[in-house]
């Protein structure tokens, strides 16, 4: 009986330790999976339904025809993935924060190394708002200062393949 006492005490200790943790129920594919973890904050994120707007999707298809597999076309690229702040800049964080959350509609990359060649912005009517005008000027300035070409194409011109080829410098 005295040999069972340490085992019973140990089992009781393990049981108390397990019960002290909150059980978090995680929903995966409509199945509840319980994990013995400390209680965690439930984050307010949901998956977006689409990466691009309908107009951007249509324009992307036009670009695929024009580019003809000679380059990569990547939509919704964060500006900080294309350019970086000079390493010795004393206001590094300030300038980095300005490019960290700004996305451009499309970027044309060279094959095979994904060198960024050209930013393409598809400008709908929202680009006529003052805040968007200021944002576009900033993005244009960032692109130019880093020797990266940028082209703006109006929504109304996205079906004019001759005009798009001309703006993109394609023959």
pLDDT class of 159 with cuts at 50, 70, 90: confident
Measured between alpha carbons, how far is residue 80 from residues 46, 99, 107, 122 in Å? 24, 5, 13, 19
Contacts of 50 (CB under 8 A, 6+ apart): 57
Q: What CATH number belongs to 54-168?
A: 3.90.1570
pLDDT tens readout for residues 84-139? 999 888 999 999 999 999 999 999 999 989 999 999 999 988 898 999 999 999 99
How many C-beta atoms lie closer than 10 Å to residue 112's C-beta?
7
Structure tokens given for 141: 């300035």
The answer to whether residue 39 scores a pLDDT higher than 70 is: no
The three-class DSSP label of residue 72 is strand
Measured between alpha carbons, how far is residue 168 from residues 10, 19, 49, 127, 133 in Å? 73, 64, 30, 20, 22
Do the beta carbons of residue 120 and residue 153 sit within 8 Å?
Answer: yes
pLDDT class of 40 with cuts at 50, 70, 90: confident
The answer to whether residue 27 scores a pLDDT higher than 70 is: no
Does pTM top 0.85 for this prediction? no
Is the alpha carbon torsion for 100, 103, 109, 114 positive or negative?
positive
pLDDT at 142: 97
Residues carrying CATH 3.90.1570, the chain: 54-168
Average per-residue pLDDT for the chain: 83
């Amino acid at each position: 009986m005295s040999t069972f006492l340490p085992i019973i005490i140990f089992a009781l200790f393990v049981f108390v330790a397990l019960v002290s943790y909150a059980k978090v129920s995680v929903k995966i594919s409509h199945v509840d999976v319980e994990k013995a973890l400390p209680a965690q904050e439930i984050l307010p994120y949901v998956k977006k339904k689409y990466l691009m707007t309908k107009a951007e999707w249509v324009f992307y298809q036009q670009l695929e025809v024009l580019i003809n597999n000679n380059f990569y076309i990547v939509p919704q690229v964060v500006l900080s993935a294309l350019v970086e702040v000079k390493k010795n800049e004393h206001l590094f964080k300030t300038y980095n924060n300005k490019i960290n959350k700004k996305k451009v509609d499309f970027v044309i990359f060279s094959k095979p190394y994904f060198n960024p060649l050209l930013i393409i912005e598809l400008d709908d009517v929202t680009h006529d708002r003052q805040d968007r005008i200021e944002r576009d000027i900033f993005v244009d300035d960032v692109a130019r200062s880093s020797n990266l070409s940028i082209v703006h194409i109006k929504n109304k011109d996205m079906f004019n393949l001759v005009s798009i080829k001309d703006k993109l410098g394609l023959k």
